[in-house]
Structure 1
Amino acid sequence: MTTAQQLRYCSRCGHRLAADNPFPMCSPCQSASVEAHARPPAVPPEFWRLDQMRDALATWHMGRVIFAYRHHPYHRQMLSQELVGTWLGLTQAQLSRIENGRAPEELSKLIRYSQILGIPVALLWFDLPGEPRVRPPAESRPSVLLPIVVGGREVVVPIDAEAAESAGLETLIASTSRADSPQRQAAHLLPFAGVDELRHMAAALEDARRYLDGSVVGFFAQQFERCKTDDGEAGPLRVLPLVLGVLGAIQHHAHDVRPQVRRELLAVGADGAEFAGWLYRDLHDPGSAAYWYDRAMEWAQEAQDSPMQAYVLVKKSQMAYDGRELARMLNLAEAAGRACTTAPPAVRAEQLQQEALALATHGEPLVVIERKLEAAHRALNMGGDAGTHFTAITLQLRAAAVYTEAGVPDRAAGIFADILATDTLSRRDTGLFSARRAAALALSGHPDEAAAVALDALQIARATNSGRTSAILADVAQSLTPWRSRPGPREFREAMLA
């Protein structure tokens, strides 16, 4: 008696397979599969409207864009680096370096990658040959456009319309909604400048040696200060484009100006580059952060700005702490103290606090650590904290982080709670230090309260795109593992995975 042959079906389309086909797919699906692996799929327009794609594109970092592309839910499963690297003509190791290193700058490669992946021209931060970006009409107002002239080319930076309105620009934006408005072009050039300033800046960027003077350098400094204020409420993705645009203008024109103006320009550039490093740290992009910290140090050295050199060393020490490079963290903190013995009181206080944190990570006795914190308080009191970013409240918050590392998390949680209750921190910092409070509570054995605080911090972290806060919350979730069956920790874990 003969047995009927078992029927087999295509794993992709479900049609019955031919009896002589040993493969799991039918011939048409095999061809389609080979085609799919040979080039990227055609994706619908809404593919690029997903928040994770928009956020990645806003960083001007092609590696982050490719990472978001690979993890897009449209693909149903994550695309491997090997597959996407094949499309782009890269090995897996090369693509990994692009995704995790500093932002690629070679224009020809940026153009090639964007064309292969099919990124819409309007979403790019550079022009494709023969395909200039289409400027959105003022009526739609997705942003106010800021062209920065670099090398005679216009590089357009999108400035969030809501942020512009919050700066008191509602009337100006409304007046530019008509295509024939004489103010429209001025508003699109620089939303925070008057017409006279615009003319002066245009002349400066065309002939840097003749026109780029202290007033233009001061204007660049004002833009950085405005961005620092906006960052606390809106997060790094809202302000990074403007910061990179101004840094690009400084970098391009620094060699064209008079020596005295060059020193002033590089001093401002060092401040902006340090801020860019912080923004990338907040985005959890250490490769780009390290690049901008190195650039800040180079410019500060040429500008003979010793306090900035010490300050950058402190920031490098903080980044080493983020990556748990504890020996390097301590060495950099001590180097910052030696770099500038005449640093302003606020910088000296932050450097001493960083040394205290480093000592805590190395297991030094609490009395030694507190002696260093007391020295930080004395340094800050010598000059006061008016007009500085490092205030008495900042020092208390940093001291709380030191106590967490020193094995006294109960004390740290109390300090965090007292300062958060004053409601004086920016939105982003509220999320950051709420996450640190949650971490201290978890280490203190208060899982329910830790989970509740962490849930609030998670909402802020996602609203402000703070990767640094999200990384701390991931550690909190790990610390709450022993209590994962309790309602609070379980709800927080589910929210983290959502």
Structure 2
Amino acid sequence: MSQRNDALRAARLRAGWRSVDQAAKSLSEHGQRFLQDRHFEVSPRTWRRWEGERPGRPPEETAIVLHDSLGRWPEDLGFTVPAGWIRPEAHQGEDVTRRQFVSVTAAALVPGPLSPQHIDPALIDYFEQQLEGHYRADMYLGPHDLIGTVSAQYQLIDKLVRSAKDEVRRGLLRVGAAYAALVGWLYQDAGDLGAAAFWRGVTQEIAVRSRDAQLIGYSLVNQAHVRTDLSDGYGVIDLCEAALDVSDRLLPKIRVMAMQQQAHGASLTGDRTTVDRLIDAAGGLLARVDDDLPWGNACRRTPGYLEVQRATCYGRLGLGREADSLWAQVLDVVPLTARRDRGVYLARYATSAAAAREPDHAVEIARKAVEIAVETRSARMLRELVTLERAMSPWHDAPVGRELAEVLAPVGKGS
């Protein structure tokens, strides 16, 4: 049986174009109105090729018309997309995004030296207390409303570090590393991995300057987290192994963080045995986490923390039923106030349900995830919903597939 471009065919049918001839005629008419070009035309022969085994790619002008008509870009419609192709919509916000990044990143690059001043040691406690509030706000709000606030506080800490001496300086370096790590995380959650990597690098620099073995280990795990989002399994493993090389000096919390992140690396390389071994080993340390450090406390703050990691790894490994069962347990204990985390978990749960061949259940779960995604604007959540959409592709032509498209419409997914 010859292969077809089912993604384009499904989009055509959802648009109500029952035949190739009708699709070509309707798209031609739409393009003539949209481009104000009466010569724009797509022939039935061209559309038939698009739905075939080798659809190639449409010209950029035609891609724009397809998007305006069907609500999807070529990569979502089964076309071959060349490396480096940038969606036209991306250019619109590119300058604004770049200006925002330059503005916030300037917080880490203020030239010095600055005028000396007396630094009261009480400022260290002040910034640590503020940090806990930022962590809570992140759970409720998501990244966008916090990036400017947290990076401005980092800039102030950096200014104070340049005047502080001895123990006060080292204390400010330690809290500064925690603030830089949080800015990196906020960018990562917002989907800007370039900015996230920059701030993770700032974290690592300050950690090294502080001579704090715990912070250095923490900074390596942060770097590994970015590599996880880049699907670089071996990069994740390398960084986590580097952190654990001095495990005899690391607090249980840092070892737990490194082990669970290394498990994500193992899942990216298809190694389930190592995933389970690492998460089980981390579980054996969890009860010993009792330090008073203000950063890296997700393992204590997040209900079912390690089972969240296991379920995520299982989903990545394609173990739909195992992941589905774990997510059901995890979501029973995650508080409703942890909106962003709950939304990410729901999206992963829905994908696991799809992998377990339960599409109706997946759509039911997706409704709840989309509601939270609209509120928080978390790019991580949107990526999870894209993964769900791919997992549901076998049901594109079925009523449940059309229902999913309607559910995803508020966040720009589906058609």
TM-score, normalised with respect to structure 2: 0.69
Aligned mates of 1:363, 1:285 — CA distance in 2: 26
SS of the residue corresponding to residue 249 of structure 2 reads: coil
Verify: 1:235 aligned to 2:146, yes or no.
no
| 1:369 matches 2:367 | no
Q: Say if 2:104 and 2:151, in contact at 8 Å, map to a contact too.
A: no
Conserved? CA contact 1:277–1:289, under 8 Å: yes
Query: Pairwise mapping of residues 484-495 of structure 1 onto structure 2 (< 5 A)?
Result: 484-495=396-407
Aligned match for 2:184, one of 269, 277, 288: 277
In structure 1, distance between residues paired with 2:312 and 2:89: 38
Counting matched residue pairs gives 321
Structure 2 residue aligned with 1:303? 210
Unpaired segments of 5 or more residues in structure 2? Answer: 1-32, 37-85, 411-415
The Cα of 1:102 is off from its aligned counterpart by 8.5
Q: Which has the higher contact order (CA 8 A, sep 6+)?
A: 2
1:189 corresponds in structure 2 to none
| Secondary structure, aligned partner of 1:485 | coil
Percent identity, aligned pairs only, is: 27
- How big is the shift at 1:434? 0.7
2:390 alignment partner in structure 1? 478
* Alpha-carbon spacing, 1:341–1:209, altered in 2? closer, same or farther (3 Å): farther
- 2-side partners of 1:101 and 1:412: how far apart? 40
Q: Which amino acid aligns with 1:280?
A: Y
> Match of 1:240, as an amino acid?
I
Q: CA deviation at 1:493?
A: 2.1
Q: Say which SS state the counterpart of residue 299 (structure 2) adopts.
A: coil
Q: 1:275 offset after TM fit, Å?
A: 0.8
Structure 1 residue 337 displacement after superposition? 1.3
3-state SS of 1:390 partner: helix
How far off its partner does 1:372 sit? 2.0
How much does 1:101 deviate? Answer: 10
What residue in structure 2 maps to residue 103 of structure 1?
Answer: 101
How far 1:405 sits from its partner (Å)? 2.8
Q: 1:445-488: CA deviations, max 9, x gaps?
A: 11111122122111101201211111111111111111123333
Alignment-derived partner of residue 196 in structure 2: 289
What's the CA shift for 1:236?
Answer: 1.5
Q: Is the 8 A contact 1:102 1:291 kept in 2?
A: no
Distance in 2 between residues matched to 1:445 and 1:429, nearest whole Å: 25
More helix by share: 2
Partners in 2 of 1:220 and 1:343 — Cα distance? 24
Are the equivalent residues in 2 in contact too, given 1:448–1:489 (CA < 8 A)?
no
Residues 437-476 of structure 1 mapped to structure 2, 5 A cutoff: 437-476=349-388
Unmatched tracts of structure 1, length 5 or more? 1-10, 15-69, 72-77, 86-94, 111-124, 126-149, 152-205
Where does residue 227 of structure 2 map in the other structure?
Answer: 320
Residue-by-residue CA offset, 1:280-302 (whole Å, 9 max, x unaligned) = 11101111111111111111111
Which position in structure 2 is the counterpart of 1:412? Answer: 323
The one-letter amino acid paired with 1:446 is E
Counterparts of 2:205 and 2:194, CA distance in 1: 17
Q: Is the contact between residue 233 and residue 267 of structure 2 (CA under 8 Å) also seen in structure 1?
A: no
1:268 aligns with 2:175: yes
**Cα distance in 1 between the residues matched to 2:275 and 2:379:** 29
The answer (yes or no) to whether the contact 2:223–2:239 under 8 Å persists in 1 is yes
Letter in 1 for 2:284: R
Structure 2 distance, partners of 1:368, 1:271, is 30
What's the secondary structure of 1:383's corresponding residue?
coil
In the aligned structure 1, how far is the partner of 2:90 from the partner of 2:389?
27
Deviations 1:315-356 (A, max 9, x none): 221221111122212211222212553222122112112222
Whole-Å separation in 2 of the counterparts to 1:496 and 1:285: 22
The correspondence for 1:253, drawn from 160, 173, 179, is 160
What pairs with 1:145-294 in structure 2 (closer than 5 Å)? 209-210=117-118, 212-294=119-201
Is the 8 Å Cα contact of residues 102 and 288 (structure 1) preserved in structure 2? no
2:287 corresponds in structure 1 to 381
Structure 1 residues 385 and 463, CA gap change in structure 2 (3 angstroms):
farther
Cα distance change on mapping 1:406 and 1:471 into 2, 3 Å: closer
Distance (whole Å) between structure 2 residues aligned to residue 247 and residue 385 of structure 1: 23
CA deviation digits over 1:390-431, x for unaligned, max 9?
136111111111222334221111111112123426111110
Structure number with larger C-alpha Rg: 1
Gap change, CA 1:208 and 1:434, over 3 Å in 2: farther
Q: What is the alpha-carbon distance in structure 1 between the residues aligned to residue 104 and residue 187 of structure 2?
A: 20
Q: CA deviation at 1:259?
A: 3.1
Q: Which runs of 4+ in 1 moved over 6 A?
A: none
- Equivalent residue letter for 1:389: A
Q: How far apart, in 2, do the equivalents of 1:484 and 1:301 lie? A: 51
Equivalent residue for 2:256? 349
Distance 1:99 1:245 in 2: 18
Equivalent AA in structure 2 for residue 376 of structure 1? A
Counterpart code for 1:465: R
2:347·2:366 contact (CA, 8 Å) conserved in 1?
yes
Corresponding position of 1:144: none
After superposition, what is the alpha-carbon deviation per residue over 1:227-265, rounded to whole angstroms, capped at 9, x for unaligned?
Answer: 111110121123222211101111233212223222111
1:348/1:380 contact within 8 Å kept? no
Instruction: Summarize the Cα distance change of 1:249–1:330 in structure 2 as closer, same or farther, 3 Å threshold.
Output: same
